[in-house]
């Protein structure tokens, strides 16, 4: 149980284009999903917290107009990187937390590697 998928697993795009990444919880309902970013040899940094049916909460320094997050259902959250630039190239990882557990355990998706040319 507690499987989270991401699509696509990798994407290469031209500078200035937009890229959408999907995060799905496959066998549980995720009231909260999180988006992280990891640059090479760095740790994961939380970008935003997404609750189903409400606006995402962004961490300090993360541009909400550049990283659009939609959490339209209890099993799907999307991250859209708008007008991507080479500095946005990174490993984007989502995680999901269900509402039936008493713990804060987050289950991570396999990640999406974005390369902006």
Chain residues binding another protein by CB under 8 A are 31-32, 34, 36, 42-46, 49, 51, 59, 91, 93, 95, 97, 103-111, 113
**CB of residue 19 vs another protein: minimum separation in angstroms?**
18
Question: Which CB sits closer to another protein, 87 or 102?
Answer: 102
The span from the CA of 61 to the CA of 107, in Å, is 24
3-state helix, strand, coil in the chain (%, to 5): 5, 55, 45
Question: Which CB sits closer to another protein, 45 or 68?
Answer: 45
Question: Which CB sits closer to another protein, 14 or 41?
Answer: 41
Sequence-ordered list of residues with C-beta below 8 angstroms from that of 76, at least 6 positions apart, any chain: 22, 23, 24
**CB of residue 111 vs another protein: minimum separation in angstroms?**
4
**CB of residue 9 vs another protein: minimum separation in angstroms?**
10
Q: Are 82 and 66 in contact (CB under 8 A)?
A: yes
């Amino acid at each position: 149980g507690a499987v989270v998928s991401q699509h696509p697993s990798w994407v290469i795009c031209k500078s200035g284009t937009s890229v959408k990444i999907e995060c799905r919880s496959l066998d549980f309902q995720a009231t909260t999903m999180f988006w992280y970013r990891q640059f090479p040899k760095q740790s994961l940094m939380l970008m935003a917290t997404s609750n189903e049916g409400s606006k995402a909460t962004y961490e300090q320094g993360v541009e909400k107009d550049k990283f659009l997050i939609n959490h339209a259902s209890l099993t799907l959250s999307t991250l859209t990187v708008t007008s991507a630039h080479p500095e946005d190239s990174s490993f984007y990882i989502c995680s999901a937390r269900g509402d039936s557990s008493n713990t804060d355990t987050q289950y991570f998706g396999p990640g999406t590697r974005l390369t902006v040319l």
